Amino acid sequence: MLRVAVDLTSQLTPLTGIGVMVHELTDRLARRDDLALTGFAVTWRGRGRLHEVAPPGVTVVDRPMAARPLHELWRRADHPLIDRWIGRHDVVWGPNYVSPPTRAAELVSVHDLTPLHYPEMANEFTLSFPGLVRRALRRGAWVHTGSEFVRGEIVEHFGADPDRVVAIHHGVRAAPQGSPERGHGLAGGDRYVLALGTVEPRKDLPTLVRAFDLLAGDDPTLRLVVAGADGWGAQAVTDAVAASPHRQRIVRLGWIDEADRAALLAGATAYAFPSVYEGFGLPPIEAMSAGVPVVATRAGSLPEVCRDGADLVAVGDAGALAAALARVIGDEGHRAALVERGRQVAAGYDWEVTAARFADLLAQVAADRT
């Protein structure tokens, strides 16, 4: 029985892409008879709540830890050991860039290198991630990432041993059946381009607003719907919408629950993902799975992950994005073919397969330590 401790801090807030990954993997790993999972959370505010969100079968250690001072200490030194809070384990997995020092074997998930490539798109906390990863590598940590693209970046930028950096594609959740009528109601119309996810600079939604402006003048019933909680830097999107001559047809919904998410996907005319940089790109895969035609950028891992299931355009090119969306909306033959290819691509991302490969990786990490 392999004893694995996992940081479940991401489960204490509304789930973003990383939170979904952690939930889907831990839920499946906890069902295996060769693993014993312990969940902990590096948080003071969330103390006492971890048992409410941990998947069944995960033993919870719900001792409060102050995140900011601990991360600051771990950036500078290999103490205090996480073992003083959680006890001894075979592997400690930090699924969100932070691998706490431990006597156990270490595995850290690195999802992208935004703080290195685009420091202006990172905040104070995420700017500390590269230093934490470097220190973990010096301690002998293994690295997990969601794409071969990011794996190559980690080897290049950190000088990591290629044999100890392992790419395992994420899965995609089976999309619940949404109500197109409900989606149309949320959008305020039955024809709309949809963007889902946290509103932050890396998603480059101002370019999407400009692309919509290029479409909207010739298509008076088309709407743009942006659904997702405001992250830092959301003011740029607010300003772009305010400057749009078609702002009355731009709908910002903020954070939405799973039922509304499914409804918006079910009713969408097209899905847009104009990201500047991605380490995987789960939202467009989820849209493909729901049968929505996707237009995305050639950013980071997206060509690897989307393959031929999406129409890809250059980063930051509002004209190219508008042209691709216009083709998806107006050319029924192309739209149908893109939807079919998207479904086929999405079918290849299975969380059960991902979890099985991840369990093998945990065993490999533990064996390397011994």
- Strand 105-109, strand 270-273: pairing: unpaired
Write the single-letter amino acid at 94. Answer: G
Cα gap 66→184, rounded to integer Å = 44
Which helix H or strand E contains 107, and what residues bound it?
A: strand 105-109
Cα gap 164→106, rounded to integer Å = 11
Give backbone dihedrals phi and psi of 206, rounded to 5 degrees, phi first: -60, -35
Look at residue 48 and give its three-state secondary structure: coil
Give residue for tokens 């999107």. Answer: 237
Share of the chain above pLDDT 70, in %: 100
* pLDDT score for 14: 78
pTM for the structure as a whole: 0.90
Task: Give the pLDDT confidence of 284-298 residue by residue, as tens digits.
Answer: 999 999 999 999 999
Q: Which two tokens stand for residue 146?
A: 């969601």
Closest by CA to 98, choosing from 66, 47, 135, is 135
Task: Give the pLDDT confidence of 199-231 residue by residue, as tens digits.
Answer: 989 999 999 999 999 999 999 999 999 999 888
pLDDT at 174 over 80: no
Backbone torsion region of residue 239, taken as left when φ is above 0, otherwise alpha when ψ lies between -120 and 50, otherwise beta: alpha
Look at residue 11 and give its three-state secondary structure: helix
Cα gap 235→322, rounded to integer Å = 23
Largest interatomic CA distance in the chain:
66
pLDDT at 46 over 80: no
Task: Give the pLDDT confidence of 309-355 residue by residue, as tens digits.
Answer: 999 999 999 999 999 999 999 999 999 999 999 999 999 999 999 99
Closest by CA to 11, choosing from 53, 44, 42, is 53
Q: Are 307 and 362 in contact (CB under 8 A)?
A: no
Residues 6 or more apart whose Cβ sits within 8 Å of residue 268: 183, 192, 193, 194, 225, 287, 292
Cα gap 232→250, rounded to integer Å = 20
Ordered strands of the 35-40 beta sheet: 59-60, 35-40, 2-7, 91-94, 105-109, 142-145, 165-167
CATH code 3.40.50.2000 region(s) in the chain: 2-171+350-369, 180-347
Question: 109 pairs with which residues across the strands?
Answer: 144
* pLDDT score for 370: 61
Closest by CA to 89, choosing from 30, 134, 35, is 35
Query: Mean pLDDT, the chain, as a whole number?
Result: 93
Task: Give the pLDDT confidence of 117-154 residue by residue, as tens digits.
Answer: 999 888 777 888 999 999 999 999 999 999 999 999 99
Write the single-letter amino acid at 293. Answer: P
Q: Which two tokens stand for residue 268?
A: 């969408």
Instruction: Please give the average per-residue pLDDT across 87-107, as a whole number.
Output: 95
Q: How many residues does the chain have?
A: 370
Cα gap 157→153, rounded to integer Å = 6
Just give the CATH number of 2-171+350-369: 3.40.50.2000
Just give the CATH number of 180-347: 3.40.50.2000
Cα gap 37→35, rounded to integer Å = 6
Q: Are 98 and 115 in contact (CB under 8 A)?
A: no
Cα gap 357→182, rounded to integer Å = 38
pLDDT at 93 over 80: yes
Give residue for tokens 């384990």. Answer: 89
